[in-house]
Amino acid sequence: MAEERRPKPCSVILPTESMKAIAESMGVGQLQEESCVALSEEVSYRIKEIAQDALKFMHHGKRRKLMTSDIDYALKLKNVEPLYGFQSQEFIPFRFASGGGRELHFYEEKEVDLSDIINTPLPRVPLDVSLKAHWLSIEGVQPAIPENPPPISKEQQKTESTEPLKAVKPGQEEEGPIQGKGQGAANAENKGKEKCVVRMKARSTHELSVEQQLYYKEITEACVGSCEAKRAEALQSIATDPGLYQMLPRFSTFISEGVRVNVVQNNLALLIYLMRMVKALMDNPTLYLEKYLHELIPAVVTCIVSKQLCLRPDMDNHWALRDFAARLMAQSCKTFSTTNNNIQSRITKTFTKSLLDEKTQWTTRYGCIAGLAELGPDVIKTLIIPRLSVEGSRIKAVSEGPVVSNIDKIGADHVQSLLLKHCASVIAKTRPLPDNSDQYRTDYGYLGPMLCSHVVKARAQAALQAQQVNRTTLTITQPRPTLTLSQGGVSGVSGPRTPNIIKVPSSLTLPVQTLVSARPVTPTQPSPPATKYIVMSTSAAAATTQQVITLSSARSTSPITSPAPSSASTMQPLVKLEHGGASAGAAATGAGGSRPVQKYIVVSLPSAASETKGASLTSPLPASSGPAPVLDSSSKTDRSDSPGASGH
Amino acid sequence: MAAVQDGQIEPESEKEIKSETLNDATGNHAAAVGGLLPSSPVSTASVGASNSSKAAASEDQQTLLAVLQFLKRNKLVESADILRREAGLLEESDDAQGSEGGRDELGGASADEGGEAASLFSRVTSATGASGIATGPAPSKVAQGSEDQPDVSVVLSAYSQQGDPALYQMYYSGLKKFIESVLDCHRAELSQLFYPLFVHMYLELVYNNHEQEAKEFFEKFHGDQECYYRDDLRVLSGMSKKEHMRGNETLLDFRTSKFVLRISRDSYQLLKRHLQERQNNQIWNIIQEHLYIDIFDGMPRSKSQIDSMSGSLAGEAKREANKAKVFYGLLKEPEIEVPLDDEDEEAENEEGKPKKKKPKKDSMGSKSKKQDPNAPQQNRIPLPELKDSDKLDKIMYMKEATKRIRLGPDNLPSICFYTFLNAYQGLTAVDITDDSSLIAGGFADSTVRVWSVTPRKLRAVKSATDLSLIDKESEDVLERIMDEKTASESKILYGHNGPVYGISFSPDRNYLLSCSEDGTVRLWSLQTFTCLVCYKGHNYPVWDVQFSPHGYYFTSGGHDRVARLWATDHYQPLRMFAGHLADITCTRFHPNSNYLATGSADRTVRLWDILNGNCNRIFTGHKGPIHSLAFSPNGKFLASGATDGRVLLWDIGRGLMIEELNGHTDTIYALKFSRDGEILASGSMDNTVRLWDAVKAFDDIETDDFTAATGHVHLSENSLELQLGTYTSKSTPVIHLHFTRRNLLLAAGGYNP
């Protein structure tokens, strides 16, 4: 007759060993087994009784969490002296250890250095209780303000998009709601949901209220406008505001159309702005983007592999855009790829196909490699490393052969550095020692020797990283790197710096203070390999770095790529962002003279876990990284289709 | 054979109780309040006779006395003498008990332990018949159970009947088979028997030290019980020793109150025949001694009908319990001369006596001159005189009322949410004044904080020495007595010694009441922001306190299971309302101040008459402790919300459940009707505010006589249609709701990051 089977009421009883242990602690040596049994039953019963009373106090305290004070009050109720000294705001950190045949639960108590405590600044005084009013609903409509939860939760957005017939979408209710009566009106009418289970898919009218239209206009204008401060604000809003759900289709169309137009017009700046919008949308935890991937992914891929993205391919730094877009792509693969949509394998296939094509331009080639490389070490290992010798010979043909064109040469240079950068870390992990330059040449062709030196560096760096990880001193709380581009002609970069740029005082000269930040992934998705960046700052004049991707394309002659290994530093910078017009205290008057320039060097390091693994790994090379340089396309396709090859 | 304790409590036994252990709190207070409650002799504790010698061996004196009575009644003078000598009892006490016992009419009907079926049934019929008569004055039927019990051990001794413990499982499964095999229409009704039988059989096993059998019995059959008894089962499962039974409140509740079942005559006959055939005495004894079967004529009820009413700790309310007349109408509003509408600008004219009488034509029927037939006498409860300031406030109220928005399904209220930030999960109670100018919060750190939500700041009155300097004749003396230096947006009131679980503003906004875990209720002045009175009376945490809508009176209820009525100028309670079987978790005044509703952890709502202390209504149907109550503004209906996330609506006049509103997923801590009673708002721990169409819910009431007569409700399955809106906050449980005079909904809660 029971309506539902429930978990059976537990009749758990404390083990008699605990009784013995407690008795021993009280000085009672020999406790009879029977007394132990009797005691443990009695004690268990009393404890349950007290817990039940404590629950009562929790309910009246209007909480969901039982607190130690509740237990105190329950004891008081029974005229038992309360326990003194228990004040716990959070859970009590019992730790468990077993060894020597005994199992122990204990408090973890850390040794604390008194001088540390004395020297730390006083904690902030807890804030006093305060009262804040906001509108939960206005005439039955819940306004989409930050105080309120997102109107439509992500799950709901998902069910709506995947099962459109079952759930009636707010905004599609009966006769499309009038302006201003967004979700609330639908909420009010959701009683009708039950009745209209079977119905045709209602026509999709995405009507925006006047406020929403204004917002949309403001945001899109700011995102592609000239004012960097406004743009930062707008992006911030896109990334955090909960009520954007209804505008998502518009944003999506805006981005895809924008990319389409600007690729044709080769407007690099606008493309970058649009990509940043994509990033912001992906960062917003309340949006269900899956529905709009068909518009967003082509746009992003375009920015990765398009033959030409800017007017002056020899001067403008479109490589950074490709890198950025490739990272976005990798991120969306991680977040959205499922067995159903197979995004990752489809993307991989696309990249691989054009990579294998002999006639592919250097720019596209760069994009393909970047896109693949961002997908993770597995993809690099299976798809890029086997191609190394082929690509190497191609690069050789350009750099050592007759001068074809400057553009090709630059492209080849970039591809080379890209390959070195990504492959070195993977090889360092997979290839056993020793690193022999000649051996590398036989294995990887033209790029071999360079690769060898990079691998040596990567290994050294891994060792260094192992040390540094142990003394991480400062954690950046804003792990949102921003791609800022200063482009002289199009947009005068002026105004204050975006607030979310990692700021590092320029006076730091040594990487003593390491800033470890997480990789820019969406917060919902913990990135499996957790590559860490160590961010250091150098002043503009400091030229200790080897590889500079300068984004200031206005006057600089050409993007400098100097792979020259300097013995001074063991770092291998991957990305260097330069922010022009910064108001930060970088007093350096750089070589350019006109603008104070602060540079950030982001160094990619393997995560601690994988790095230790790499250090201890002595496994032989995987077959794919063997000398067989060319994989025929069919085998490659197979590989990319298999789930094992797709990502981590 | 049964020796019977009398229900009546003599003065000396009352004293004796007071010195008893904590567990007797109920009995204690019930006794103290004895004058308020009508008492009739009811048989409650009966002792199996065959083990009289066994009982004599029992260490308990009460049991001994009971046995002695039994011996005496059966003219076994010799054995009685021997027993008395052996036990060393005094003659007098015995006599006193004996005289009480003599009054009992049921005792004679007791049968032999052998228990031939015929005599068994005669006993049952007489028992039910007798209690039917005895329950003439219906109020607080169950209350007497606790009143009747002077001691736990007597209660427990009822379990000393010995049956073969191994057969218990067989008995139970036999009954189960039978019930499962009967016709569908009877099955649902008879299934009600499972739970009480299960509990009592389990307790019997435990009491007789058959621990292993008890455990097996529990393991085998606990899965069959309805899910809403889960909490009680958990308590039971922990109880596996006779020693545990002493001092366990839940057990006491099972035993002291007969579990009430409502069964149709047909089903009952069926059961009777079955037990007769099977000679199943064990079960029959339990049914007879621990259950109260309320037999009615007519169609057996359906499963859903039964489910909607069951769930309370002691079964359903008896039908008689809800028959008393309740004056649910509103009191006539005092005649106040109201200035004309169009004279709005003449605010100052109100102070001077306006000339024209023009009562507002309002939605409120109370304003009409003629007396509502359902309303109580104007002076049924003495109410305080209206002061000039009260009249001003009334005028303000009426003015606001004219600007009130009429709500309805197409016209939902706006909701303004007051979030308490940085409360660190410490916010335990909130109240808002009727004119929505002040908001107060009670906190787990024992403080009470008052905020002004209007631009007007909170100011305290000047000190006595400063006050003496003021020119008392001046026009703005009320303004001058205020100390500008103390002006601030919020004030903190210190005084309690434990979490503040309930607060309530007085209607005139001069006082604030707070109740706390420390067992006290405090009255604070909002003029000086100091504590004026500390009302001591509850010995245990006080869960709720509320001012009467007319001021002066207030009520409190707490862990001691007694609701008290106080007047602000008396340091002792005026009335004590005993009867609930578990903590009183919330109390509310009826809008006419003549009645009081209490919600309890025993999953019942009771309505008490303040005039005579009677319990006039018992509403069962909730499946969890009730944490919120609200009267509709017209006084006809009551809404209650519980931990099970359901809101139930009750018709007070007819004592019926009207509607069940499903939707919330967690405890409902706040309920409020809009000013015109059109919308019911509920706020819950699940961070939502939900709006319900109250008009529709009340219109749907079936008005057929059978329903009214039997109290068998047919709930429509349309509670989703009644829901008008759901508004989710980010992470803020809603613990208070309030409609402003213009029908703007204010919600409040502490942000819970």
pLDDT tens for each residue of A22-81: 888 777 778 788 888 888 888 888 888 888 889 999 999 998 888 888 988 999 888 888
Distances (CA, A) of A641 to A356, A379, B442: 16, 12, 62
DSSP structural state of residue B489: S
| Contact call for A9 and B237, based on CB within 8 A | yes
Q: Which residues of A touch B226 (CB under 8 A)?
A: 1-3
Q: Which of residues 185-204 of A touch B (CB under 8 A)?
A: 187-188, 190-191, 194
In this structure, what token pair is assigned to residue A262?
């600007």
Residue B103 pLDDT? 40
Q: pLDDT for B528-557, tens place per residue? A: 899 999 999 898 999 999 999 998 999 999
Which residue did the predictor score with more confidence, B262 or A585? B262
Q: Which amino acid is at B373?
A: P
| Contact call for A8 and B223, based on CB within 8 A | yes
Calculate the CA A288 to chain-centre distance: 17
Q: pLDDT for B449-487, tens place per residue? A: 999 998 888 888 888 888 888 877 777 877 888 888 888
Calculate the CA B264 to chain-centre distance: 27
Measured in angstroms, the CA of A262 and the nearest CA of chain B are apart by: 40
Question: Residue B258: which of B476, B42, B527 has the closest Cα?
Answer: B42
CA dihedral angle for residue A116, residue A122, residue A126, residue A127, rounded to 10 degrees: -140
Tell whether A292 is within 8 A of chain B (Cβ).
Answer: no
**Chain B residue closest in CA terms to A142:** B727
Which residue did the predictor score with more confidence, B428 or A461? B428
| Contact call for B414 and A135, based on CB within 8 A | yes
| Contact call for A78 and B22, based on CB within 8 A | yes
Strand duo B575-578 + B584-589: pairing: unpaired
Give the pLDDT band (50/70/90) at residue B154: low
Tell whether A147 is within 8 A of chain B (Cβ).
Answer: yes
**Chain A residue closest in CA terms to B643:** A59
| Residue ranges with strand state E in B350-437 | 415-421, 427-432
Tell whether A55 is within 8 A of chain B (Cβ).
Answer: no
Residue B47 pLDDT? 36
Residue B500 pLDDT? 95
Alpha-carbon distance of A143 to A124, in angstroms, equals 34
Q: Which amino acid is at B680?
A: L
Which residue did the predictor score with more confidence, B113 or B268? B268
Alpha-carbon distance of A66 to A59, in angstroms, equals 9
Alpha-carbon distance of A573 to A575, in angstroms, equals 6
**Chain A residue closest in CA terms to B447:** A129
In this structure, what token pair is assigned to residue B24?
């007797």
Q: Which residues of A touch B417 (CB under 8 A)?
A: 133-136, 147
Q: Which of B422, B496, B718 to mutate to test the interface with A (most CBs of A within 10 A)?
A: B422
Q: CA neighbours within 13 Å on the CB side: how many for B45?
A: 31
Contact A546, A538 (CB under 8 A): no
Alpha-carbon distance of A362 to A397, in angstroms, equals 13
Q: Which CATH architecture has domain A12-87?
A: Orthogonal Bundle (1.10)
**Chain A residue closest in CA terms to B642:** A59
DSSP structural state of residue B208: T
Alpha-carbon distance of B532 to A111, in angstroms, equals 50
In this structure, what token pair is assigned to residue B374?
């359902």
Q: pLDDT for B74-95, tens place per residue? A: 667 777 777 777 666 554 444 4
Residue A535, beta-bridge partner list = A602
| Contact call for A188 and B725, based on CB within 8 A | yes
Q: Which amino acid is at B603?
A: R
Q: Which of B422, B425, B428 sits opposite A127 (nearest CB)?
A: B422
The answer to whether the pTM exceeds 0.90 is: no
In this structure, what token pair is assigned to residue A395?
């690069």
Measured in angstroms, the CA of B689 and the nearest CA of chain A are apart by: 9
In this structure, what token pair is assigned to residue B108?
């004679």
Contact A36, A11 (CB under 8 A): no
| Contact call for A62 and B733, based on CB within 8 A | yes
Residue B674 pLDDT? 93
In this structure, what token pair is assigned to residue B753?
């990051």
**Chain B residue closest in CA terms to A7:** B223
In this structure, what token pair is assigned to residue A171?
């905004």
| Contact call for B724 and A49, based on CB within 8 A | no
Q: How many CB atoms lie within 10 A of CB A115?
A: 8
Residue A400 pLDDT? 77
| Contact call for B416 and A42, based on CB within 8 A | no
Alpha-carbon distance of B177 to B280, in angstroms, equals 14
Q: Which residues of A touch B235 (CB under 8 A)?
A: 52
Alpha-carbon distance of A612 to A293, in angstroms, equals 37
Tell whether A285 is within 8 A of chain B (Cβ).
Answer: no
| Contact call for A9 and B443, based on CB within 8 A | no
Q: pLDDT for B328-365, tens place per residue? A: 888 887 776 655 544 444 444 444 444 444 444 444 44
Residues in chain A with pLDDT values less than 50: 1-7, 166-199, 471-648
Element (H, E) at B566: strand B562-567
Residue B709 pLDDT? 56
| Contact call for A137 and B689, based on CB within 8 A | yes
Q: Which residues of A touch B414 (CB under 8 A)?
A: 135, 137-140
Q: pLDDT for B206-252, tens place per residue? A: 888 888 888 888 888 887 777 778 777 877 777 777 777 776 766 66
Q: Which of A4, A57, A62 sits opposite B735 (nearest CB)?
A: A62
| Contact call for A134 and B419, based on CB within 8 A | yes
Contact B488, B457 (CB under 8 A): yes
Q: What is the mean pLDDT of residues B609-637?
A: 91
Alpha-carbon distance of A506 to B525, in angstroms, equals 60
* Number of continuous H segments (helices) and E segments (strands) in chain A: 21, 8
Residue A284 pLDDT? 86
Q: Which of residues 2-31 of A touch B (CB under 8 A)?
A: 2-6, 8-11
Q: Which residues of A touch B451 (CB under 8 A)?
A: 131
Alpha-carbon distance of A399 to A162, in angstroms, equals 52
Q: Which residues of A touch B684 (CB under 8 A)?
A: none
Measured in angstroms, the CA of B537 and the nearest CA of chain A are apart by: 15
Residue B648, beta-bridge partner list = B640, B660
| Contact call for A77 and B417, based on CB within 8 A | no
End-to-end, the C-alpha distance of chain A in Å comes to 50
Q: Which of residues 66-85 of A touch B (CB under 8 A)?
A: 67, 69, 73, 77-79
